[in-house]
Chain A
Amino acid sequence: MPRHITIGLITLGVGFAVALGFFVDVVGRVQSLMKNDHESAENPFKAPAKPLYAPTDPPLNVKIFFPAESGDPILAAEDQTIFKSGELGNRAKQILQKLQEGPHADKMFPSLPKDTKVQDLFISEQGTAFIDFSDAIATNHPGGVLNELATIYSIVDSLTYNLPEIKQVKILIGGVEKETLAGHCLLLLPLDMDLSITNVMPREEKTALLR
C-alpha cells in the first residue's frame, strides 16, 4: 500500500475515533439532561411538596357548584370552607380539590369524571386561569350536552364566583388546547362566569338587594 494512503487512512481513523468520542459524550449529556427534565416534570403530578395553605391562614367560605338533582337550574351551590392562602393559585387549587372530592349533600352529583386530576394551574395578569386537566376529564366523560356544560361551568363558576381576581377560565386537556371536552362545548376561547344556569345570584345583584 502506498505510504500516503496509509497516512490518510490512519488520519481518518483517528478523526473517526475522536468524533465517536464526542458523539458518545453528547448523547450522554443529552440523556442526563432529559432525565433531569423528566424528574422535574414529574413533580406537579405528585402530591405538592408545599401545602396549599399555612396553619395560620384564615378560613374562607366558598360556594362550590355541582350538578343539581332537579336538573333545573343545572348547577346548585354547596357551601364549603377553604383557607385563604396568600397565593391566588393555591386558593384556586383548593377550590379545584373540593370539586374533585365531590359534593357532600345527597341531592347533588359529582361534576368531574372519575380519575380527573389537575396537572397544572396558571393565572395570567389579565385574570385568565389556565387549568390543565389530565386526559381522564375527556376520556371518562359520559357525554351529553347538558352534562358537558355542567362539568365545564362547575369549574368556571366555582373559580370565578369565589375568586373575583379570576375573570375567565381556559381549560386545557392533557396539556394541550382541545376544541371540545366531549364533542359539544367550545373550549377554544376562555370561558366567562355564567350564573344563569345556577341557583346563585351574581354578587353585584345580591349587594344591590341588601341595600
Chain B
Amino acid sequence: MKKTRIAVLVAALSAAVFISSGLIRAADTNFPIYFPDSKLVVKADVMNRTVYLPLREIVGHMALPYTDSISLETLTIRSGNNRLVVTRNSSLISYNDQIIVLPSPMLRDNDRWLAPIEFLTLGLTRLTGMEFRYRSGASRIFAGNVAAPELEMNAQTLGPITRLTIRCAVPINLVARRDDPTKAILSIDRAPLDPARERFDHRDRLLHSVAFDDSDGESKIVLDIVREVSEVRVTPADNNKVFFVDLLRAGELVTAAPPAAEPPVAAARPDVLPAERKVRVIVIDPGHGGMDTGARTPAAAEKDLTLALARKLRTALQTRLGATVLLTRDSDITLDNEARSAVANNNQANLLISLHAGYSANKTESGSSVFVMKEDFGDTFAPAAVARDQLFLPWYLGYRMHRGGSTAAATILQQELAKGVPGWNFPIRTGRLAVLSSATMPALLLEIGNLNNTTIMQALMDNGFQTRLVSAIVDAVQHFSESPQAAAN
C-alpha cells in the first residue's frame, strides 16, 4: 500500500514537472539596456517564451517617479502630467485612462514587477517619448538615439587555417585573449554594437562556434575553439573596420603548408599584397555541381565543364596577374547560390565571375551571354532600405553597391571575348540572378554556348578553345583592374 502511494506521488510530481517545464521556462539572462548616456544591465526572465524585464529597476534608472500599491496590486508610473498604470497579472495597461493591450500579462513576483519586453515600446515610449529598439532574439535593448553600429561576423575554413571576418560600420579596436584553451575572447572597445547574428556554429577542425556576448555591457566575441589551436592572429584592415581573425594549428606552420594550400594562405594576409593593383582577390564560381548537374547532354554536363574552365582560369589568373584566385567549389559538390556569393563577400573579393554553359531548345542558336544583375531589382520590395545608405541591406540587394562596376566589367569582358574568340557573340543581358544578387563587389555571370548545339559543344570540350577563352577572360580582368570602375574593397 505504501509503495503504491509513493509510486502515485512520484508519477504526479513528474507529470507536474513535465507540464510546467513546457509552459514556463524561467531562465536568468543578463540583459543590457543602452541609454544615450548610460547603460543598465538587468536580469531578464524568459517565461512561456516571453522575455520579462524588471520594471522598477528600469523606471528607477530613468528617474521616473512611481507608486507601488501593494493593496491595489498596481504600479503607477508618472512623467510630467502623464500617468501609466499597470495591474498585476493583467495584460491591460492604462495610459492617461486610455487602455493599451500588451501581448503578455504583467507579473509580480516577490516584490518584483516583471514587464514583458513589449511594454517598453507600448507603454514607456508613450510616457517618456524615448524610443526602444529591440531585435527579436537578441538580448539587448537600445534606448533613444543611442548609436549602435552594426557588426557582422563570418567564419570560413581556408585550407589549414580557419578565418573569422569581423566587419563593423565604424572603426573599432579588437584584442584577442585566451584564458581557457578551448575559448578565445575577442574584446571590442566599443559598446553598444548591433550584431547581425547573435551566434552561429561553424564546426570545422579548429572552430566550433562564434557568439557575440555583451551581457555585462562590454562587447566581446567568444570563440569556442579546440585545444590544438596554437595562435589566434588578428589582422586589421580597412581602417580598423574589418578584422581578420585567423586560427592556426600547432605544428602546422603556415610556411610548411602543402603547396596546394598556398593561395588561401596568401589570402590570409591581404595587407601584404601589392596595393597598387585594384583587383587583388578574384572569386570564380563554377556553376552547378553535385546533384545539380545544370544543363546536360549525353556527352557532357554543365557542372563538369564549368569546373574544368574555372580551374584553367585560376591557373591563368595566378600566373599572369599574380592575383589571389579562389574557387567557390573545387570538386563536384552541391552549393546554394548564397554560399557562392558568401565566398566572394567573406574574402573581400574585388571581382566575382560565375561560369555557366547554356542550353537552348533552338539547336542553331549560339546561346552565349554576359549577365549582370537587373538594375532595379528589389526596388519595390525594400524601398526604405534602398533609400538609406546603410551597411546592412536585405541580402538580395547586395549587388547595388557595385552595379556600375559590374556593368563596366561586363563591357570589357564582351570586348575581350570578341577579340579572343572571334565568331562568337556575347551580348550583355540583365536578369535577377541569385548568385549575383548578394555579391558586394563587381560581379558577372558568363554563359558560354548552347549545349544543344553539337558544333558549339565540341568547341567547348576542345582544349585549344578553352585556352583561348580563358586567355580572353584574363585579358578582360587585367583591363578591368586598370579601369577606374575597379573599386578596391
Question: What residues make up the interface of A, taking CB atoms closer than 8 Å to B?
Answer: 4, 67, 69, 71-72, 109-110, 142-147, 149, 179-180, 182-186, 188-189, 191-192, 197
Question: Do B358 and A184 touch across chains, with their CB atoms under 8 A apart?
Answer: no
**B35 / chain A contacts, CB cutoff of 8 Å:** none
Q: A186 vs B433: C-alpha distance in the bound complex, in angstroms?
A: 6
Nearest CB of B to A137, in Å: 15
Nearest CB of B to A6, in Å: 14
**In the complex with contacts A143-B294, A180-B434, A109-B445 CB distance below 8 A:** no
Question: Do B361 and A192 touch across chains, with their CB atoms under 8 A apart?
Answer: no
B431 part of interface (Cβ distance < 8 Å): yes
Question: Do B361 and A179 touch across chains, with their CB atoms under 8 A apart?
Answer: no
**A147 / chain B contacts, CB cutoff of 8 Å:** 295, 358-361
**B427 / chain A contacts, CB cutoff of 8 Å:** 72
B280 part of interface (Cβ distance < 8 Å): no
**In the complex with contacts A144-B450, A146-B369, A146-B429, A184-B361 CB distance below 8 A:** no
B435 part of interface (Cβ distance < 8 Å): yes
Q: Could you say which of A4, A109, A180, A189 contacts B378, with CB atoms under 8 Å apart?
A: A189
Question: Do A188 and B360 touch across chains, with their CB atoms under 8 A apart?
Answer: no
**In the complex with contacts A71-B367, A72-B427, A146-B360, A192-B380 CB distance below 8 A:** yes
Q: A188 vs B362: C-alpha distance in the bound complex, in angstroms?
A: 28
Question: Do B367 and A142 touch across chains, with their CB atoms under 8 A apart?
Answer: no
Question: Do A186 and B367 touch across chains, with their CB atoms under 8 A apart?
Answer: no
B396 part of interface (Cβ distance < 8 Å): yes
B292 part of interface (Cβ distance < 8 Å): yes
Question: Do A144 and B360 touch across chains, with their CB atoms under 8 A apart?
Answer: yes
A-B contact pairs, 18 of them (CB 8 A): A72-B427, A110-B361, A142-B452, A144-B295, A144-B447, A145-B371, A145-B431, A146-B429, A147-B358, A149-B429, A180-B434, A183-B287, A183-B292, A184-B433, A185-B432, A186-B432, A186-B434, A189-B378
**B432 / chain A contacts, CB cutoff of 8 Å:** 185-186, 189, 191
Q: Could you say which of B361, B365, B378, B445 contacts A145, with CB atoms under 8 Å apart?
A: B445
B337 part of interface (Cβ distance < 8 Å): yes
Most A-side CB within 10 Å, residue of B302, B336, B362: B362
**A69 / chain B contacts, CB cutoff of 8 Å:** 362, 364-365
Question: What residues make up the interface of B, taking CB atoms closer than 8 Å to A?
Answer: 1, 287-288, 292-296, 302, 336-337, 356-362, 364-367, 369, 371, 377-378, 380-381, 396, 427, 429, 431-435, 437, 445, 447, 450-452
Q: A94 vs B362: C-alpha distance in the bound complex, in angstroms?
A: 26
Given contact pairs A67-B362, A180-B337, A183-B294, a sample of 19 additional A-B residue pairs in the complex whose CB atoms are under 8 Å apart: A4-B1, A69-B364, A71-B362, A71-B366, A71-B367, A72-B427, A142-B296, A143-B294, A143-B359, A144-B357, A144-B359, A145-B371, A145-B447, A146-B447, A147-B358, A147-B361, A184-B445, A189-B381, A197-B429
Q: Could you say which of B294, B364, B367, B377 contacts A146, with CB atoms under 8 Å apart?
A: B367
Q: Kindly report which residue of chain A lies nearest to residue B450, judged by CB atoms.
A: A144
Q: Kindly report which residue of chain A lies nearest to residue B365, judged by CB atoms.
A: A71
**A191 / chain B contacts, CB cutoff of 8 Å:** 432
**In the complex with contacts A71-B362, A179-B337, A184-B356 CB distance below 8 A:** yes
Q: Kindly report which residue of chain A lies nearest to residue B292, judged by CB atoms.
A: A183
Which are the 8 A-B pairs with shortest beta-carbon distances? A143-B295, A144-B359, A109-B361, A144-B358, A71-B365, A186-B434, A186-B432, A142-B359
**A4 / chain B contacts, CB cutoff of 8 Å:** 1
Q: A67 vs B294: C-alpha distance in the bound complex, in angstroms?
A: 20
Q: A186 vs B364: C-alpha distance in the bound complex, in angstroms?
A: 28
**In the complex with contacts A145-B371, A184-B356, A186-B437, A109-B431 CB distance below 8 A:** no
Nearest CB of B to A205, in Å: 18
**A182 / chain B contacts, CB cutoff of 8 Å:** 294
Q: A101 vs B437: C-alpha distance in the bound complex, in angstroms?
A: 33
**A144 / chain B contacts, CB cutoff of 8 Å:** 295, 356-360, 367, 447, 450-451
Question: Do A143 and B431 touch across chains, with their CB atoms under 8 A apart?
Answer: no
**In the complex with contacts A109-B362, A146-B360, A189-B381, A184-B302 CB distance below 8 A:** no
Most B-side CB within 10 Å, residue of A142, A143, A179: A143
Question: Do B431 and A184 touch across chains, with their CB atoms under 8 A apart?
Answer: yes
Q: A144 vs B358: C-alpha distance in the bound complex, in angstroms?
A: 4
**B378 / chain A contacts, CB cutoff of 8 Å:** 189
**A186 / chain B contacts, CB cutoff of 8 Å:** 377, 396, 432-434, 437
Question: Do A67 and B361 touch across chains, with their CB atoms under 8 A apart?
Answer: yes
Q: Kindly report which residue of chain B lies nearest to residue A2, judged by CB atoms.
A: B1
Q: Could you say which of B302, B364, B369, B371 contacts A143, with CB atoms under 8 Å apart?
A: B302
**A145 / chain B contacts, CB cutoff of 8 Å:** 356, 358, 369, 371, 431, 433, 445, 447
**B365 / chain A contacts, CB cutoff of 8 Å:** 69, 71
Q: A188 vs B1: C-alpha distance in the bound complex, in angstroms?
A: 65
Q: Kindly report which residue of chain B lies nearest to residue A107, judged by CB atoms.
A: B362
Q: A4 vs B75: C-alpha distance in the bound complex, in angstroms?
A: 56
**B366 / chain A contacts, CB cutoff of 8 Å:** 71
Question: Do A185 and B434 touch across chains, with their CB atoms under 8 A apart?
Answer: yes
Q: A72 vs B378: C-alpha distance in the bound complex, in angstroms?
A: 26
Nearest CB of A to B306, in Å: 11
Nearest CB of B to A176, in Å: 15
Most A-side CB within 10 Å, residue of B288, B367, B431, B450: B431
Nearest CB of A to B110, in Å: 42
Nearest CB of B to A196, in Å: 8
Q: A179 vs B365: C-alpha distance in the bound complex, in angstroms?
A: 28
**B358 / chain A contacts, CB cutoff of 8 Å:** 144-147
Q: A144 vs B296: C-alpha distance in the bound complex, in angstroms?
A: 9
Q: A163 vs B140: C-alpha distance in the bound complex, in angstroms?
A: 49
